Amino acid sequence: MQSEPMTSDLYQTLKDLIDDRLPGGDRLSDAEREALALQCLQHIEATVEKFDREGGADAGSRRREDCILCELRPDRFEVIDENERALTLRDSYPVTEGHCLIIPRRHAETWFDMNETEVVATGRLIHRARARLQADDPSVTGFNIGMNCYKSAGQSVFHAHIHLIPRRDGDQQDPQGGVRKIFPEKARYKRNPD
């Protein structure tokens, strides 16, 4: 929480903004202006508290030394796209051409450990990757989006990562079932040791 003088300065600034910038703000009564300024102040304070809870400005810098997706060695991973909270990488073991991974910058083991900001950031990158893949390759007619959370679900790299797998008509004889049986011959692979 801010100190009292800072809060009252911000409160006064909000009241002034309501008068100057809000259409019709100058026609509000003092009580209405104060109520609106108070609502804005409470929203700002809640947003700051949430930002602090979710890691604040340094959330992207939280890394684990033993995590290959925190380390991101250029000889192992190519960054295709990025935003403040997430990255898109080429998959090192692609199921299809164009297969990529979308990961949060901050170390989070699974989807369930990602905060709301990271969920939104990865979602935006998924949409951008889809648009790029379809623009670059008109044969792409569908996508599988998937994530393995925890060892029992097949997770082998314990940094949250979302697979975006481009699909093409005819890439499987019978695609019905989608992620339930996508490319079973490629489901098992041996990772190269470092």
Delimit the CATH 3.30.428.10 region(s) of the chain.
61-186
Q: Higher pLDDT residue, 17 or 129?
A: 129
Non-local (6+) Cβ contacts of 159 within 8 A are: 64, 67, 68, 69, 70, 103, 107, 108, 109
Tens of pLDDT, residue by residue over 3-37, are 344 456 666 777 777 777 777 777 888 888 788 87
CATH architecture of 61-186: 2-Layer Sandwich (3.30)
Max Cα-Cα span within the chain: 70
What is the full DSSP assignment across 123-175? HHHHHHHHHHHHHH-TTEEEEEEE---SGGGT--S-S--EEEEEEETTSSS--
Tens of pLDDT, residue by residue over 135-182, are 999 999 999 999 999 999 999 999 999 999 999 999 988 888 777 776
pTM for the whole thing?
0.66
